[in-house]
Amino acid sequence: MKPLKTLLLAALAALALTSCGTASKVPITGRTHRLSVTDEQVLSLSNSQYKDYMASAQKSTDANATALVKRVGQRLSNAVETYLRENGFANELQYFNWEFNLVKDNAVNAFCMPGGKIVVYEGLLPVTQDEASLAIVLGHEIAHAVAKHSAEQISKQYNQSQFTQLGGVLLSSTVGDGAAQVATAMASVGLQFANAHYSRENESEADHMGLVFAAMAGYDPAVAVSFWQRMSAASGGGSTSYLSSHPSDAKRISDIQKWLPEAQKYYAASKPASAATQTTSSKKSTKTTTTKATTSKKFTF
């Protein structure tokens, strides 16, 4: 029985390796992850959910604030696409169709669906307060899309389901249809992109990448520290990172301070063309974000 057990374990290991998916490198951080779902599969689900969400959401009637969100989003996406094009990720551009919307919701939140569909809630604007801080948030959301964090979470669920089935597969010598298994795994995630929960590692990576993306677009990344201090105060000090999908506010701020020297290099390279524009538009944006803060404590981005 021992040789049979050894063979079984070897077969399990071999099958596990073949089900790990395709290696994908994350821009900026250089981290490699393996994805078991394709961009096309994720985008199909994302686009469907985005249409459903926007059909039920109420767009903001604040024209100035809406224009602010779209302007900052477009500036960031332009900078990100330039970076991807110039650093070996040009093929990824086909998977992005950027769209930025501001909706009537008092939650302090924003989210990005795969493919670049970004939604900002009105309740976030009194906390961001200025254009550069809004850029920090949008940079974070764009980073989730660029790093394919949704695909990574779906892949983890898929791979976990594969492991639970491997024993039965070996004993019965049958293998299910791959496409059907992926579809089942995606459905089992119960993933609603508007309320996606990423791992703490994903959230930290999005903070890092988002800081750099904002700097690339000509926004001073140093404002991220004061922004997260305001977020911490608005949430009553924030929750600890234990059993949470997000880093604690204290760790977030500490990490940002660690990444600032790197981001500042991109910020310096983005000037002088962007600096004057940022100073002017930031002053204007402070006047446009007139939505009042509420007692909502929904902080999920």
> Which residues are identified as catalytic?
141
Report the C-alpha gap between 285 and 299 in whole angstroms: 22
How far is residue 160's CA from residue 262's CA, in Å, rounded to a whole number? 36
CA angle 190, 192, 197 (to 5 degrees): 90
Beta bridge partners, 110, equal 120
Rounded Cα gap, residues 70 and 50, in angstroms = 17
Handedness of CA 280, 281, 285, 286 (dihedral sign): negative
Q: Work out the angle at residue 84's Cα, subtended by the Cα atoms of residues 78 and 85, and round it to the nearest 5 degrees.
A: 90
Nearest to 74 by CA among 259, 281, 269: 281
Q: Which letter does DSSP use for residue 292 in this model?
A: P
CA pair distance 193, 150, nearest whole angstrom? 8
Tokens encoding 69: 């969100």
Nearest by Cα to 40 from 116, 115, 121, 105: 115
> Could you tell me if 134 and 68 are in contact, meaning their C-beta atoms sit under 8 angstroms apart?
yes
- Measured CA to CA, the distance from residue 289 to residue 292 in angstroms comes to 9
Q: Per the structure block, which two tokens stand in for 138?
A: 């949008």
